[in-house]
Structure 1
Amino acid sequence: MKRRVVVTGMGTINPVGNTVDESFDAIIKGENGIDNITLFDTNNSKVKIAGELKNINFEDYLDKKEIKRSDRVMVLGTIAAIQAYKDSGLTPENYDPYRFGIYVTSGIGGLNTMEEDISTKALRGVDRISPFFIPNSIVNMVGGMISIKFKVKGPNIPIVTACSAATNAIGEAFKNIRDGYLDFAFAGGAEASINETGIGGFAALKALSTETDPKLASRPFDKERNGFVMGEGSGVLVLETLESAIKRGANIYAEVVGYGSTSDAFHMTAPDNDAEGLTKAIELTLEDAKVKPDVVDYINAHGTSTLLNDKIETLGIKKAFKEHAYNLNVSSTKGATGHMLGATGAVESIFCIKALQTGQIPPTINYQNIDPECDLNYTINKSVNRNIEYAMNINVGFGGQNAVVLYKKYGV
């Protein structure tokens, strides 16, 4: 017997806000969280801008010792989990800790720790490496820190699929609750890769925009797009069974109804030219939800502002939805947040869920020039109001990863 799964808690910190409501309000207003990099000296970098966190005090959530001993990515993920847990209204009396899983991931993990300690080894010798180097570098320590913080003892499974990681994590958590293996889960992702290594590595791939004007750098689906902008942040959802949520009188934000994931088997960094993998992932999601394509109203697209992604993603949406593709509102919120890699699917899922609740569709900002190969309704520059019953989040990643999750407005 398949169980229904709902979202009862949400938390996020990202370049446009430090809470869920603050973030969604900024997104709807079309505010831009991208600006000059302050986390390191960019004098020797061709890339000068990114989507950094702003005006957040980590000590509002964690003590100094925890912060000092943890990589930045662990801190970001844990803060989002703290927000989500508080928002859910859960207490330890509500659950068996062994039935509460942690599916909170990262695309890269503790890159700040890796950069710092590898530099220490090179400059000062191997004996000067920190004892926190190994634990703080590995991806599962994001979920590990959350597990310790809340004493939840179910599986800690970080699904590491590059830029689709958080979407895959949410989808896998959903399946495990739906199929009876778990009752609750933290699900989402965190990323903190705005440092010389992260920016330098993606710049070497020619993946990042070198634009110096924050209003022109991340411009998804625009004909003049020339690369993505790195962002940092985190997003975490609390998922549980509908039965549990009703029993304890929880606030239900949305229902998770479908999930699909495929691999392109095509190229390490480029998407499949025919969008076959993405098309199939969308189709699998709709089949999983047992709905027809025409019920979907809104898609928060991957929309990275790279030449290939935006064109191929548009193709995949058109192949999967056929004539209904032109009835959809599509948007990429990466114009405002930048690309948060392994966190992006969680933050964008939160935007999908808020859109379901409010009927406000986030815009794709910074759009100026029409690309004939990107010809859908991208909700250009201004939010629109629309009754939304189903919202889809799409993310793809290096290695040919495709991940799609479908959310339904609760009560319809």
Structure 2
Amino acid sequence: MNVKRVVVTGMEVITPLGIGLKSCWDNLKNGVSGIKKISFFDPKNHKCQIAGECRDFKAEDFLDPKFIRRYDRMFHLFVSVTLLTAENWNFKKDLVKNPFRFSVIGASALGAPSTFEEIILQYLNFGPKKVSPMAVINLSANTAAGEVARIFNAKGPQYFLQEACSAGTKALGLAYELIKNDVIDIAFVIGADSGIRPAVMASLENLGAIVDAKWNETPEKASRPFDKLRSGFVPAEGSGCVILESLENALNNGRTPLAEIIGFGATCDAYHPTAPEPSTQSIIECIKMALKSAKIKPEAIDYINAHGTGTLLNDVAETKAIKEVFGEYAYKIPISANKSMIGHTWGAAGIIETIFSIKTILEETIPPTINLEYPDPECDLYYVPQKAIKKKVKTVLKNSFGFGGINACLILKAWEGGEK
């Protein structure tokens, strides 16, 4: 079998830290928080009144008015970040020789929640005749991927993963496997979520998954992965897009790789809808699977971009699994949690954090875990607290662990050249 090398040749993000990778990365490495009081609706009746909103994002900067009216905000973020990626990384669809080997692979945990709320209100207030005929199309999250495919003439196999907080990392893993095994040549891998809605927030509050009211007056302090005062994650919205392709395809089209994906692992806890399985065996196996796929030893990892949500159980489980896999070396690996600054962007998180991991490699800068002021004794590894550090990073492990016990790990490597 003709096994291909898989490289990243373009990437962009839209997050609570800004529009585009440059501004987001500058804020991230400088420890700037994007968490603020909710502005999308009046949160006065909610215990948690803070979130990571993409306040600088204006859909009209990217999309026509008809598209904006018709589709959910998640769609706006999904398509806009793809257009931004194509523009900033000079991607021309006309250079794709075979559109049937060009795929769009999407990811979202929540889909289109604002549309769901609107449809219910239409029906209850005005009856069935006033429900939009586009409602069912808009509720189908994969329609967002279909729109990107239409814009760029991507006719290869299309997938849309709705696999909780691991969706983005699993989408990258799926694209990696398809390219590696010579099924396709190139893929746009896109993740987006926009769930800062009253019903979603209420559900998360009642579930006990998100931060409590004590942080409402100091929102920038609320997201506290691995800290003893953590009380849950901070919901956020955002999107990320990565252009993945075979090395051969990239070089043939004059595109310089930014980084290489060399390993992927995925498992399921088969345990509980929200809580990680206490032994963390599935997480351990997921990390080991990624290392085996990459054909490297644990000591080859220079940095871990943690899932790091700030929930009581998840942070302990992730720490425990890392120590089990890496042994004493676990204490020497820098680890950090991007969610301390951007909050939890759900299904987009794995893609956004993979992009930040690649920037870590390229700029030899590890962004901090802010708000880590009172370390939890059970979370006793080196989480790069408060300030970024300069370090040469060649190989990164990116972790994602989602509701339902869905685990995914990706291994990224600095681009060092080599044969196709």
Please give the range of the TM-score, normalised by the shorter of the 2 chains. over 0.9
**Which region of structure 1 is more displaced relative to structure 2, 286-295 or 320-329?**
320-329
Tell me by how many angstroms 1:204 deviates: 1.6
SS in 1 for 2:160: coil
Q: Superposition pairs for residues 388-407 of structure 1, below 5 Å?
A: 388-407=393-412
Q: Aligned residue for 1:124?
A: 126
Identical residues among aligned pairs (%):
39
| Per-residue deviation, residues 77-136 of structure 1 (Å, max 9, x unmatched) | 111111222233332232211111111110010111001111221222222211221111
Does 2:28 match 1:27? Answer: yes
Name whichever of 213-222 and 339-348 sits farther off. 213-222
Looking at structure 1, the residues matched to 222 and 200 of structure 2 have their Cα atoms a distance apart, in angstroms, of 18
Q: TM-score, normalised by structure 2?
A: 0.96
Q: Structure 1 counterpart of 2:123, which letter?
A: K
- Which residue type is aligned with residue 37 of structure 1? I
Secondary structure, counterpart of 2:125 in structure 1:
helix
SS of corresponding position for 1:259: strand
Q: Which runs of 5+ in 1 are unaligned?
A: none
1:383 to 381, 385, 388: 388
Q: Which letter maps to 1:144?
A: G
**What residue number does 1:248 align with?**
253
AA of the residue aligned to 2:3: K
Matched with 1:89 is 90
Mean CA deviation greater in 1-10 or 80-89: 80-89
SS in 2 for 1:236: strand
Give matches, 1:7-406, under 5 Å.
7-95=8-96, 96-210=98-212, 211-212=215-216, 213-406=218-411
* Cα distance between partner residues in 2 of 1:14 and 1:92: 26
Secondary structure of the structure 1 residue equivalent to 2:32:
coil
Q: Secondary structure at the match of 1:158?
A: strand
Question: How far, CA to CA, are the matches of 1:87 and 1:393 in structure 2?
Answer: 25
CA–CA separation in structure 1 for the residues paired with 2:210 and 2:189: 28
Q: Following TM superposition, where does structure 1 have runs of at least 4 consecutive aligned residues deviating by more than 4 angstroms?
A: none
Q: Over the residues paired in the alignment, what is the CA RMSD in angstroms? A: 1.1
Whether the aligned pair in 1 keeps the contact of 2:35 and 2:341 (CA below 8 Å) is: yes
Distance 2:94 2:81 in 1: 22
Deviation, structure 1 residue 324: 1.5
Question: Which secondary structure does the structure 2 equivalent of 1:255 belong to?
Answer: strand
Kept after mapping to 1: 8 A contact 2:34/2:220: no
AA at the equivalent of 1:260: G
Q: Distance in 2 between matches of 1:321 and 1:139?
A: 38
- Residue 225 of structure 1 and its aligned partner are, at CA, apart by 0.3
Worse-superposed segment, 179-188 or 151-160:
151-160
1:295 to partner: Cα distance: 0.8
Shift of 1:164: 0.4
Number of residue pairs matched? 412
Q: Deviations for 1:342-396, whole angstroms, at most 9, x for unmatched residues? A: 1100100010000010100010011111111001100001000101000121111
The 2-side partners of 1:119 and 1:202 are apart by: 21
Once the two structures are TM-superposed, the CA of residue 57 in structure 1 deviates from its matched residue by 2.1
Contact 1:89 1:250 in 2 (8 A): no
TM-score, scaled to structure 1: 0.98
Q: Which digits, 9 at most, give the CA deviation of each residue in 1:298-343, with x for residues without a partner?
A: 1111111100000001111111111221111100010110100011
